[in-house]
Amino acid sequence: MDTYTESLENRARDINPEDDIDYSAALTEVVSMFQNFDEALDTFLVRHGYTGDRQDIDGKMAFIKSRFEQKQIPLPRNIRKWYTEHKRIKKETAIRICFAFGLTVEESEDFMRRICLLRGFDCHNVEEVIHFYAISNRLGYAEAQNLLDKVPRPNPERLDFGEEVLYTASIIAAVRRFRSPEELIRYISGNIEQFGYNNATAYRYIRRMWEEISGEEGLAAKEKKKLYRAFNDTDREIEEARAGEPEAHRRARSARAGGSLWEIYLQILGLSGNRIAKLDTDRSLKPILRDNELLHAWAEDSFPSRGGLEKILNGEHASEQLVHKTIILLVFYRFWVKAALKRNDYQARGGDTGRSICEINRYLLDTGYPQLYPGDPFDWIILHAVENEFPLLVFRDFMRELFYVKEHDIDARYAAEWS
């Protein structure tokens, strides 16, 4: 795995949109370098005793099955599809594997991060806090299920930032002190309403960062006024196409754009301007991200979205992956736009790269998420940017490459809408 991550780290440093003759080809090569879940799992199996042929699916399935049978844990369904269809697994399945292979908490966290590209234990989740306790205390999977039968289940609620919230760090600290399952049961039962909140610390940080970025005198407004150059803002073809646009549509689009969450989101990505405005009808990047040859499918699944950000800001439930990557994106943007505004240019200075990575990792660890990992396709995009001389501009160059690949498809849809 070290060689694998090292090669991805090297490519993150080596590729530069200004120096590479064919930037798109270089990015396509990187997409092919990422391991699917089954390939990463093979490495894990070898480290845990598998000595057969890595091409022998039946042999690997038999090895996995034997571990589950030894621990008397129900075998996950569709194991063969992990290999034949490169299927990812859900968090609950990953945790069952941790029990089956007798992993420690630290090993379980590493397995979920490196092999599954998942967050580790979310101790705001009743099932996961019990699994965390069970693995910490070397209890079996069946014992963990018995504990689950003894605690209530919360109703997921909108996070109210005006009320006192039990944050993940305090839950973990409490669980580590417990000396008996009964203490854990009493704790969960007595605080059950608090377990309806997921990602409370992450939501708090995201809200604070967004306020700093999006205010009338926020970082985005200052960047737009002082430094930002809109993407393809004078494109003649689009201007000509818009010449026949109804006035009502033009006014509505203008009203949506000015200072809105969508417009600021596009500015962060470097996609503001006339071309991307074609997507105003649904305010979504899906037409750009979907099946894009420059973007690994796992990055597409977890890419920070306008809708996900709105949910987080409203205290509504958003997936772990969206929350995780939204933190990364906002910390990255805030760090580099602050530096750019201070210096009046986008160029990195000595030590900036290390400081920016440390700042992102600090936020991730504080919110219970794993640090940046080159083997994660979205994390690689950020590492690729920060390892270059102009991090924010390189990130935006990457996003524009994604757009160019899909431009023809988007043009066709745009033409159909206005025909």
What percentage of the chain reaches a pLDDT higher than 90? 66
Residue 270 CA: distances (Å) to CA of 180, 207, 232, 273, 346: 53, 21, 10, 9, 13
Please give the pLDDT value at position 200. Answer: 78
- What does pTM read for this prediction? 0.87
List the structure tokens of 249. Answer: 């549509």
3-state SS of the chain: helix, strand, coil percent to 5?
65, 0, 35
Residue 400 CA: distances (Å) to CA of 271, 290, 316: 7, 14, 30
**C-alpha torsion angle, residues 304, 308, 314, 319 (rounded to 10):** -100
Mean pLDDT computed over 370-382: 96
pLDDT in tens, 325-373: 999 999 999 999 999 999 999 999 999 999 999 999 999 998 889 999 9
The length of the chain in residues reads 419
Distance CA 1, CA 3 (A): 5
pLDDT in tens, 34-89: 999 999 999 999 999 999 999 999 999 999 999 999 999 999 999 999 999 999 99
Contact in structure between 128 and 61 (CB atoms under 8 Å): no
pLDDT at residue 253 is higher than 90: no
Mean pLDDT computed over 256-274: 79
Distance CA 338, CA 402 (A): 26
Please give the pLDDT value at position 255. Answer: 47
Give the amino acid at 256.
R
Cα torsion angle, 114, 116, 122, 128, sign: negative
Distance CA 187, CA 291 (A): 46
Residue holding tokens 């070290």?
2
Please give the pLDDT value at position 162. Answer: 58
Please give the pLDDT value at position 158. Answer: 64
Average pLDDT, the chain: 87
List the one residue out of 404, 330, 315, 389 whose CA is nearest residue 364.
330
pLDDT in tens, 120-174: 998 888 999 999 999 999 999 999 999 999 999 877 666 665 555 666 778 888 8
**Burial of 129 per CB tally in 10 Å (0-12, 13-18, 19+):** buried
Distance CA 309, CA 268 (A): 13
Q: What single DSSP character describes residue 367?
A: T
Mean pLDDT computed over 362-389: 95
List the one residue out of 293, 400, 384, 405 whose CA is nearest residue 15.
384
Residue 221 CA: distances (Å) to CA of 206, 225, 345: 18, 6, 16
